[in-house]
């Protein structure tokens, strides 16, 4: 399994997800501003992974901040990191966790505060891997044996600290001995499916077939899809799911064809403060991601473009939400609340 993100003596090291699969390169972020830039530019991406990066960014920032002005510096660090990407709630969850810890350390020597924040950031990373294994264990029994699993975007080791959420479920199903293969949507415009999911699953020897996004309906109708498993960036209290744009299309196709549609996510992706998915902020990204492929224009100059990075799948399309604490099913208002106690 690849190392997505690590704290080292040189700084926070991450695999550069803008360069995969052609180049396996690592970026070292030496300041919290560099961590923030890496999140914004999607050098690191995927909801749980950007949560880990944000926690490490906070710890790195405090390590380098002027001790005489620590409260103000801490607030500025958190604010910079919080402004990087708006949709994945794990980013805000991780920053809040660091804020709560910082508040509890008031009055301690600055060296101790720094050490405790660094240890917490590393804990966020370690916990994430354990959480993903638990998601895998809970989800694996739901995956039909001898069938294909369709996934959209990359909710794998690269999108987390390791093992993955949706791909964790697939990994766990195979570890149980199930004969499953994967269909990966290419996931335009950033191509997380083609570039990242296929690369990651190839490393593990999991049989994977790449399809373009517009082929999903064709294959869904064929009867070979056992289920769909995707990740999530934010899940509202009613079970509406924000995930990579195109997920909604897949969910509708799945329902139409009687294919179970599962969402795999840690409970840190739940945002029960939002009643429904219409309230989830959707990131709009640069037009160039749509008009260009690898720097080559594929549309005429001056083309009008929309580029929402995520869409919201209404809860009625979701067969189950697989978390580390169990599998929630409709009605989600009740089951999600119960899940987090």
Supply the residues annotated as catalytic: 233
Q: Where are the beta strands (DSSP E) in 152-245?
A: 181-185, 208-211, 225-230, 234-236, 241-244
| Of residues 182 and 309, the one with the C-beta less far from ligand MRU | 309
> Which of 120, 185, 186, 233 contacts ligand MRU by CB under 6 A?
233
Name which position in 51, 57, 231, 277 contacts ligand MRU (CB under 6 A). Answer: 231
Draw the binding track, 23-62, toward ligand MRU (x: CB under 6 A; -: no contact): ----------------------xxxx--------------
| # chain residues binding ligand MRU, by CB under 6 A | 17
Measured distance CA(18)–CA(6) in Å, rounded: 17
Chain centroid to CA 5: how far?
Answer: 13
User: From the CA atom positions of the chain, what is the Rg in Å?
Assistant: 20
Nearer CB in complex with ligand MRU: 110/314:
314
Nearer to ligand MRU among residue 155 and residue 336 (C-beta): 155
- Cβ atoms of 219 and 255 within 8 Å: the answer is no
Check binding of 131 to ligand MRU (CB under 6 A): no
The answer for residues whose C-beta is within 8 angstroms of residue 331's C-beta and 6 or more apart is 239
Closest contact distance (angstroms) between CB of 295 and ligand MRU is: 19
For the bound state, the minimum distance from the C-beta of residue 45 to ligand MRU, rounded and expressed in Å, comes to: 3
Work out whether 84 is an interface residue with ligand MRU (CB under 6 A): no
Rounded to whole angstroms, the Cα distance separating 194 from 189 reads: 10
Cβ atoms within 10 A of the Cβ of 292, count?
14
Q: Among residues 55, 62, 88, 124, which is the contact residue for ligand MRU, using CB under 6 A?
A: 88
Q: Binders of ligand MRU among 143-182, rule CB under 6 A?
A: 153, 155, 159-160, 165
CB atoms within 10 A of CB 188: 17
The region of 95-103, 104-112, 229-237, 295-303 touching ligand MRU under the rule CB under 6 A is 229-237
Buried b (16+ CB within 10 A) or exposed e, 156-174: bbbbbbbbbbbbbbbbbbb
Report the nearest approach of ligand MRU to the CB of residue 265 (Å).
7
Buried b / exposed e along 197-226 (16+ C-beta atoms within 10 A): bbbbbeeeebebeebebeebbebbeeeebb
Q: Which residues bind ligand MRU (CB under 6 A)?
A: 45-48, 88, 153, 155, 159-160, 165, 192, 231-233, 243-244, 309
């Amino acid at each position: 399994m690849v190392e997505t993100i690590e704290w080292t003596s040189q700084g926070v090291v991450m695999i550069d997800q803008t360069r995969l699969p052609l180049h396996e390169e690592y970026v070292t972020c030496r300041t919290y501003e560099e961590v923030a830039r890496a999140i914004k530019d999607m050098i690191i991406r995927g909801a749980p992974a950007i949560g880990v990066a944000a926690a490490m960014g906070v710890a790195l920032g405090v390590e380098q901040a002027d001790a005489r002005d620590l409260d103000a510096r801490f607030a500025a660090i958190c604010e910079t990191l919080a402004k990087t990407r708006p949709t994945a709630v794990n980013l805000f969850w991780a920053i809040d966790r660091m804020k709560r810890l910082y508040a509890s350390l008031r009055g301690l020597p600055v060296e101790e505060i720094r050490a405790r924040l660094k240890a917490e950031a590393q804990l966020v990373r370690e916990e994430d891997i354990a959480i993903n294994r638990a998601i895998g264990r809970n989800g694996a029994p739901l995956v039909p044996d001898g069938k294909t699993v369709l996934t959209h975007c990359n909710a794998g080791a690269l999108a987390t600290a390791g093992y993955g959420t949706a791909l964790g479920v697939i990994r766990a199903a195979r570890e149980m001995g199930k004969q499953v293969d994967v269909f990966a949507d290419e996931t335009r415009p950033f191509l997380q499916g083609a570039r990242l999911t296929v690369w990651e699953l190839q490393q593990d020897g999991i049989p994977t077939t790449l399809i373009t996004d517009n082929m999903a309906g064709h294959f869904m109708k064929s009867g070979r899809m056992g289920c769909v498993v995707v990740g999530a960036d934010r899940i509202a209290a009613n079970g509406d799911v924000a995930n990579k744009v195109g997920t909604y299309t897949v969910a509708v196709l799945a329902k139409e064809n009687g294919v179970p549609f599962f969402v795999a996510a840690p409970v840190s992706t739940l945002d029960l403060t939002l009643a429904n998915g219409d309230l989830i902020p959707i990131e709009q990204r640069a037009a160039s991601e749509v008009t260009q492929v690898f720097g080559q224009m594929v549309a005429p100059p001056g083309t009008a473009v929309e580029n929402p990075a995520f869409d919201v799948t209404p809860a009625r399309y979701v067969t189950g939400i697989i978390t580390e604490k169990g599998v929630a099913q409709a009605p989600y208002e009740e089951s999600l609340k119960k899940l987090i106690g």
